[in-house]
Amino acid sequence: MELKKILIDKMEGNKSIQRSDEQQNLYKALVEAYDADKTILDTYGESAILKRRREDDDQVGPFAGSDWVSKRQREGGEHASASTPSEPATGSAGR
């Protein structure tokens, strides 16, 4: 929310919102988002922000940690080197 306020101040300061319709539309959308965040904060307080941050922290993708590889190895029984393609036994080294 602080970053939105900083961006709004910068845009107003350098008059970038007066350059094109697209800039004006982006500025209006930014102000609306800032106002919505401010309303949520005023209504629910810090608990809404903290809960949202905790939920974001809980959403971890499959590539987030090193456990991904070890879990894959446990499930498939393959080693990390097995996932890289190797040269076939009849390779074309003599060509």
pLDDT digits (tens, 9 = 90+) for 70-80: 555 555 655 54
Show me where the domains of the chain are located: 1-59
Q: pLDDT tens digits, residue range 9-59?
A: 888 787 767 778 888 888 889 899 889 888 888 887 766 656 655 665 666
**For residues 49 and 26, what is the distance between their CA atoms, to the nearest angstrom?**
24
85 Rama sector, left if φ>0, alpha if ψ -120 to 50, beta otherwise: beta
Q: What is the structure's pLDDT at 19?
A: 78
Helix (H) or strand (E) holding 64: none
Whether 67 has a pLDDT exceeding 60, the answer reads: no
The torsion region of residue 60 among left (phi > 0), alpha (psi -120 to 50) and beta comes to beta
What are the C-alpha distances in Å from 22 to residues 2, 26, 27, 53? 23, 6, 9, 31
Backbone angles phi and psi of 7, in degrees to 5: -65, -40
Kindly report the pTM of this predicted structure.
0.42
